[in-house]
Structure 1
């Protein structure tokens, strides 16, 4: 990058940063309350709606369907962890006998139930993966191993919360289930990321503004972060690589198009012998493929 381009980038950051800081200062001290407030204020979903990452047209689903059919046992139930309004829960449900969407925000579950009315073999409930052993009642209710789909959860968790969430997922998958994880992993700074999504010193798109105000700031989540959250002693990597994460159009152009965010995916299997053993145990304290 030329020196003049670097200086221009620093100048844009200097102008954008105060606006972002002002919005972030309005965020609740309790990030869980922030998520509940966020989903409670959503009035419209899909393209043109309030939710930054809900493209509505399910462009990402074919990628995940392919990975699921190649790598997961679809005779097992699916748990969509961090389901939000249930967009991906509904999109993946036809592949499994039963599907359960879980989210820590009660307002998200309320919205997911409303948008999923009439869908068969689909249910939603609250679950906070950052609480130790929180998944044990759900695992007991399922009564066996399950697959878990996670899109866009770990990159907004604090590093200390990630291993706790991973241990909860391990409780769910047992010996036969697998985790399909997909997270944004934008290579630049937070200001670069915001500009990538249409933010400028003069204008921050409303869906992006809402996310800044109520939800935790995104962090990187790639292979290195996955190794820390899902240690090799507990998890085997079946497959991983890069994936395209989509967001709703943010740039004001004559033909708006979805935003593309570089991401990372991994398919993980627990080293647990069986789910029943995991439930009865004491609480536990390559070249990438392009998708």
Structure 2
């Protein structure tokens, strides 16, 4: 099974039209507002001597943070343009980056063989994947974890759709960063809340811990406050 060409081209187009400037993507929040807080939740369960794989790494902002806290960090993204940006942003080679579709079961299996058991960081990927791809994405997490790895999964909830609708309904329409997401045909918060734990279970993953959270964005409300999207987090292991 492979990801749809529409979906692949949407992401290629998005990243080609996003600059290298930090925060130009709406979700490209500073790691202090993202991966750092998530690692506090993952750390009690994860072995830091194992590698960590950042699935859907985009331009690699979070991957580079993870690289300082695990033995090895690898960022994976569907988009070649995203991977190229991630490499440009990391001239010291702090992390590694490669293009891979999470629906490519053979490619994921090959990566798992090369890495051995690994931890996984998956931030806001399932919710905006095409519906047929959500289970394969979860199975990719399970394959990479192996027996000893632990995964952190954070996904937008349905409540975030109302927040985005409110943001888009301002006097000038959607602000620029959100407009670019919509113009490229990307669909934030497209999965139902109950679907995320269902696809995790279907992939053979056990939820070790979970709770509500909010994913910080780089866009602001008219009063200057940061946009935060309601989400839920899960720490998972192979069942």
Verify: 1:169 aligned to 2:161, yes or no.
no
Return closer, same or farther for 1:249/1:257 CA change in 2, 3 Å cut-off.
farther
**CA deviation profile, 1:31-73 (whole Å, cap 9, x unmatched):** 11010111111114334x2x11112363123311212321211
The one-character-per-residue Cα deviations of 1:143-179 (angstroms, maximum 9, x if unpaired) are: x100110001001012321111111221111000011
C-alpha distance in structure 1 between counterparts of 2:153 and 2:147, whole Å: 17
Moved over 6 A (4+): none
Kindly report which structure 2 residues correspond to 1:153-232, keeping only aligned pairs within 5 A, or say none: 153-187=125-159, 190=161, 192-200=162-170, 202-219=172-189, 221=191, 224-231=194-201
How high is the TM-score relative to the length of structure 2?
A: 0.90
Kindly name which structure, 1 or 2, has the bigger radius of gyration based on alpha carbons.
1
For the residue of structure 1 that corresponds to 2:179, the secondary structure is helix
**1:240 matched to 2:214:** no
Aligned to 2:32: 58
Q: Of residues 16, 20, 25 in structure 2, which corresponds to 1:40?
A: 16
Q: Does 1:131 align with 2:104?
A: yes
Tell whether the 8 Å contact from 2:8 to 2:78 is kept in structure 1 after alignment: yes
Query: How far apart, CA to CA, are the structure 2 residues paired with 1:169 and 1:198?
Result: 33
Q: Do 1:183 and 1:263's aligned partners in 2 also have CA atoms closer than 8 Å?
A: yes
TM-score, structure 1 normalization: 0.75
Structure-2 separation of matches of 1:59 and 1:118? 23
CA contact 1:183–1:221 (8 Å) conserved in 2? no
RMSD (Å) for aligned C-alpha atoms: 2.1
Specify every segment of 5 or more residues in structure 1 that has no aligned partner in the other structure, as ranges: 1-27, 272-291
With over 3 angstroms needed to count, the CA separation of the structure-2 counterparts of 1:221 and 1:117, relative to structure 1, is same
Unaligned runs of 5+ in 2: none
- CA deviation vs aligned residue, 1:62-94 (integer Å, no higher than 9, x gap): 311212321211110000000000011011211
Q: Return the alpha-carbon distance in structure 2 between the equivalents of residues 141 and 247 of structure 1.
A: 34
2:233 aligned with 1:257: no
